[in-house]
Chains A and B, each alone.
Chain A
């Protein structure tokens, strides 16, 4: 299986908003066209700090969403590993539940394939966190102002 670069997104929703939030997120991603949800997992940080993970199909309020997007039928289900669960849980406040979605950048995979077909090479591809991008824009804006 050739899998393109992936984005690991962790989404937290308050209390009762998990099902609606997950629905919204999956809808947005699948509508994008050049993105594909390849795995999803519910991560909970318990009050005592322990972490646990659950498949969407095993969470009552998410079963319908899970079925709608056929997430259990994906041949990529299972990519998010237990170590990843621990890392996600470390970000969460105790007593919160979040969803981790693994999204494939289909456009980037296709780009790499096209480039390779043209005899070229994708030399590098890196994710620039939004915080870095924001800072670069702010810095440039202040440089423009003083120019």
Chain B
């Protein structure tokens, strides 16, 4: 013989939204609805429920090597740098002219 007693169910809830927003497997719903639930999923609820969502690794990136060893440099930029060096007195006029000639010939 089993004893019957009043069962109090006023305690702390268990689900706390776990059945809302597609976090739980929903019976009897179409695949389309399920997909919609997944996109609508409440991230805050999911986080609270410690739902771990697997994020697949991105496909391996194709490595495309650059066609020159050195990074491409704008000639006018280099000329400007040479001129600056001359102004700062780090290059003599003769050195500047040599460097400029070399640059223009490259």
Interface residues of A, Cβ cutoff 8 Å to B = 6, 8, 10, 12, 41, 53, 55, 57, 66-67, 70, 72-73, 77-85, 87-88, 90-91, 102, 124-132, 136, 139
Contacts and interface: CB of A to CB of B under 8 A. Distances in A.
B54 A82 contact: no
A54 to B, nearest CB: 10
Given A130-B25, A132-B53, 4 more contacts: A72-B2, A81-B10, A82-B9, A102-B14
Contacts of B26: 91, 131
Contact of B54 (A83, A90, A130, A132): A132
What is the interface of chain B mostly: helix, strand, loop, or mixed? Answer: loop
A73 B3 contact: yes
B90 interface: no
A130 B2 CA distance: 36
Contacts of A129: 22-25, 51
